[in-house]
Amino acid sequence: MRGPHNIIRLIRTGATLERTGAMNVVLDAFEAPKPLRFVAHALGKPFMWLGYNGDPSMPPATRALTALGPAYIKFGQVLSTRPDVVGQELADQLRVLQDKLPPFPVEVAKREVAKELGQPVDDMFSEFSAPIAAASIAQVHKATLASTGEQVAVKVLRPGIERAFRKDVDAFYLAARIVDIFAPGARRLRPMEVIEHFDGVVRGELDLRLESSAASEFAANTKGDAGFQLPPIVWSLSARRVMTLGWADGVPLGDNAAIDAAGHDRRALSERVLKLFLLHALRDGYFHADMHQGNLKVAPNGDIIAYDFGIMGHIDEYTRRVYAEILFGFIRKDYKRVAEVHFEAGYVPADKDVDEFARALRAVGEPIFGMDATQISMGRLLSYLFEVTERFGMETRTELILLQRTMVVVEGVARSLDPRMNIWEVARPVVEDYIKKSIGPRAVVFDLARTAQVLARFGPRLPALVEAALIRQASEQDPPRRKGLGALLAAGAAGAVIATILTLGIEALL
């Protein structure tokens, strides 16, 4: 499906933005320069007849994105969390994309549930409500278990959603290929790898068995986190296209008026949502990667409740340490160290100047620290960051896409609760604590212990490896190589012995 016919899909995107009146809204929100406005309108207006009309009752941007399909809706969900980037008016318009999209009929949902779970809905649930929330991929129904009377939420995938997403993603592949061919300067952004990453995320989100598994792992990691709750999974009533989990009572995190009426402290909630994200990302390397307001509630006791685990992020321990050092460097205004970490991790080509890069980072960081949070223009800041990455030839790190995207979303959620929230001040204690545990002396000891254990595992295989190598060398009749091999085997054996001693000794110390 990735053939040239997808060009029509891309043209239709621009045409839909023009036809619905969303083109100017989007360009104004991003403060697009005149040349870009000219090109956008030149490409969109001649093909307006190809654009989707959408629902005229919706605001222009929401109307366009819902008409274009689920992948575009996902993009709108991210923008809805960033009023500091797109403006409060557009952010409010886009917020309906989180969980207030047009639902499909409850009868269709019941058929899907019965088909997936293999028994009539009435046998499983004594009550099954009309849709209470509808997003880009699935909708949710409130139900009551026939066996226990417990209230649950039943998530059901939209009919045909797999095919709809496939169409969008195929068009994105074509767009990435066009960028690769006709815009060599943008290849450092690795558009094909970015779309492949997005494709993988989407495929995982379209299998609710994987989401149930993710929710279970996330719950195990976070069970001791104060002020945080997750609804339990009902495994016996979950399958590929249906997921059942405990009902979560609470106020939507995006409804500030309701939060105030319930007597919750929005400033405290703002700080906690950011700290929880950082804690999960740094401590566990496994985090909720779709933390917009539509997936968060505030429980009556003030706890934050998270649900919808279709997109989860995972980062390895090395990357977590790099990310923490970068954050910590910004917090301390140590731009030289931030620059060095980028070079050490290979994020910036080695032929670039580290001091010059540090000065560019200072130009990014200082305005953040020198202004009230309400005065910071995230649009201009992101624009300058893009200029910096282009100037220094930084390639897109696909392993960090979800982390960076979620960081943007979470900061937007936090600042929607408290516009004066400063990300760096709130992040400091979490990052400092992680730095102490992961980069300090104790971390070095644990790293040595793990390394020794890995080396020691090869001990039982050494005799067989030595014998096989000696036989092979003898058959080759190459004295110089046999001598080199003997030294290598001796070193390997000594290494295994040393590893075993280190393992025993370090375990004793710990």
Active site (catalytic) residues: 290
Q: Walk along the chain (510 residues) and give the pLDDT tens digit of each residue.
A: 455 666 777 788 888 888 898 888 877 776 666 776 777 787 678 888 888 888 888 888 888 888 888 878 877 776 676 665 677 778 777 877 766 778 899 999 999 999 999 999 999 999 999 999 888 888 999 999 999 999 999 999 998 888 888 877 887 787 777 667 765 655 655 677 767 777 777 777 889 999 999 999 999 999 999 999 999 999 999 999 999 999 988 999 989 999 999 999 999 999 999 999 989 998 999 999 888 888 899 999 999 999 889 888 888 888 888 888 887 888 788 989 988 988 888 888 888 999 998 998 888 777 766 555 566 555 555 556 656 776 787 766 666 667 777 887 888 888 889 988 877 788 888 888 888 777 666 666 666 666 666 666 666 776 777 777 777 776 765 555 545 555 444 444 444 444 444 334 444 434
Residue 350 is part of which domain span? 249-439
Helix (H), strand (E) at residue 140 = strand 138-145
CB atoms under 10 Å from CB of 504, counted, come to 12
Distance CA(464)–CA(495), nearest Å, equals 16
For the chain, state the CA radius of gyration: 27
Whole-model pTM: value is 0.70
Residue 198 falls inside a structural domain: no
SS (H, E, C) 244-271: EEECCCCEECCCHHHHHHCCCCHHHHHH
SS (H, E, C) 391-439: HCCCCCCHHHHHHHHHHHHHHHHHHHHCCCCCHHHHHHHHHHHHHHHHH
- Shared domain check, 498 and 384: no
- Shared domain check, 486 and 414: no
Q: CB-hemisphere CA count at 13 Å for 286? A: 13
Strands 286-288 and 312-314: antiparallel
Residue 234 falls inside a structural domain: no
- Shared domain check, 505 and 421: no
Distance CA(200)–CA(409), nearest Å, equals 20
Q: What is the pLDDT of residue 151?
A: 96
Residue 137 falls inside a structural domain: no
Do 111 and 242 contact (CB within 8 A), yes or no? no
Q: CB-hemisphere CA count at 13 Å for 91? A: 20
Residue 184 CB partners (closer than 8 Å, separation 6+) = none
Helix (H), strand (E) at residue 187 = none
- Shared domain check, 400 and 334: yes
Closest CA to 175 of 202, 194, 203: 194
Q: What is the pLDDT of residue 425?
A: 82
The strand pairing partners of 306, in sequence order, are 296
- Shared domain check, 447 and 422: no
Residue 37 CB partners (closer than 8 Å, separation 6+) = 27
- Shared domain check, 356 and 325: yes
Distance CA(152)–CA(232), nearest Å, equals 10
Eight-state DSSP code of residue 155: E
- Shared domain check, 412 and 266: yes
Query: What is the tally of structural domains in the chain?
Result: 3
Q: CB-hemisphere CA count at 13 Å for 118? A: 5
